[in-house]
Structure 1
Amino acid sequence: MNLLLNLFTAFFKIGLFSIGGGYAVIPNIQEQVVTARGWISQKIFTDIITISQLTPGPLAVNTSTFVGVRIAGLPGAVLATLGCVISGICLSVTLYCLFGRYKKSRYVTEILKGLKSASLGLVVSAAVTILLLTFTGSSELNLHPDIDTGSVILFLLSMLLLRRNKTGPVFLMLLTGAAGLFL
């Protein structure tokens, strides 16, 4: 029972303090489930993030469901997901009410500007973590890493197909997933 409460509480915090959504939530989730609690390894975390990208729905909700099921089965998945969603709903409703009242305030404008910058920093941090894990197998910045050249090639090919050919993300994920079988 204690584990279920811990799952709910951890994902309630994640939902409450995940400013920016999307990739910006990755460092917060990583801190809660990998670093602070040690529920899963960094490698499993990266795999869960990858799988979450392939499934419909918000990253935080998908991740909470995957982690919950891995740690405590179906009850864990339900409680982790509820924790993540309930906090976000409460925060969104509260902020909506306050924003409607104070949206013209100079202070609110400046706070939002700061939050945008912080969100960008979180997204870049998450990207660097995933990049390091993909290329070196470790999230630590190392001066002499063992680089997985196959992963680097797939990364560069993906960037080229996305930017130059405007390849769709679903096709790209299927293509690189299949290529990963051979590398």
Structure 2
Amino acid sequence: MRKYFIIFWSFFKIGAFTFGGGYAMIPLIETEVVKNKKWVNKNEFLDILTISQSFPGALAVNTSIFIGYKIRGVLGAILALLGTILPSFLIILFIAAFFMQFRNYYYVNLIFKGIGAAVPMLVLIAVVSLSKSLKKDYINLFIIVATVICINIFKIHPVITIIIAGIYGYLFLRKRVE
């Protein structure tokens, strides 16, 4: 029973202290499950992230479900999910109940401005961490540049870009893996 509580508590802490969505949570999840708890190794974590991104839903939620399932089955997945979403639910409930009274307070606005400034750095940390394990070659560089061009210049939806990259990998990179 203690192991299940540890799963819940680990993801609860991540959910409680992360602002900025799933990508901002990646460094915290990685630190907790790869470095601190050693539930998965770095390569398994990257595989879980890849799978989590390809499923509908929030990245952090999908990742927590996969990790919870990997280490303790269905109950582990449920507890990891609850640990991830419960803090946000409680915070939103609290804000909905009391925010209208505080929304114009100077110090409350300063707090949100500080949090807003930190979130892009959490996303950058996730990018740097993930890029460290990426094989440095021309094909991956091509995929990165093509993805940036597709999304930022041609305004192709990220989901379509991911599907195209997956098809490209399947058609042209399978000989490299086999």
- Structures share a fold, TM > 0.5? yes
Return the letter of the residue paired with 2:146.
L
Cα offset, 1:157, TM superposition: 1.1
TM norm structure 2 = 0.89
Q: Percent identity, aligned pairs only?
A: 37
Q: Match of 1:8, as an amino acid?
A: F
Match of 1:156 among 145, 158, 163: 145
Name 1:81's counterpart in structure 2.
Answer: 81
Q: 1:165 aligns with which of 146, 154, 170?
A: 154
**Could you report, residue by residue, the CA deviation over 1:65-95 in whole angstroms, capped at 9, with x for unpaired residues?**
0001111111111111112122221122123
Shift of 1:12: 1.1
3-state SS, counterpart of residue 56 of structure 2: coil
Gaps of 5+ in 1: 137-146
RMSD over equivalenced CA pairs, Å:
1.5
Distance across 2 between alignment mates of 1:66 and 1:101:
39
- 1:108 corresponds to which residue? 108
1:154, distance to aligned residue in structure 2 (A): 0.8
Q: Which residue of 2 aligns with 1:129?
A: 129
Distance 1:170 1:23 in 2: 15
Superposition TM-score, scaled by structure 1 size:
0.87
Matches of 2:27 and 2:98, distance apart in 1:
27
- Aligned-pair CA distance for 1:33: 0.9
Q: Alpha-carbon deviations, 1:79-130, whole Å to 9, x = none? A: 1111212222112212333322111111011111100011111011111212
Q: Which runs of 5 or more structure 2 residues have no equivalent in the other structure?
A: 174-178
Q: 1:19: Cα distance to partner?
A: 1.3
CA–CA distance in 1 between the matches of 2:160 and 2:20? 27
2:156 maps to 1:174:
no
The answer to whether residue 56 in structure 2 is matched with residue 67 in structure 1 is no
Q: How many Å apart are 1:132 and its aligned residue?
A: 2.4
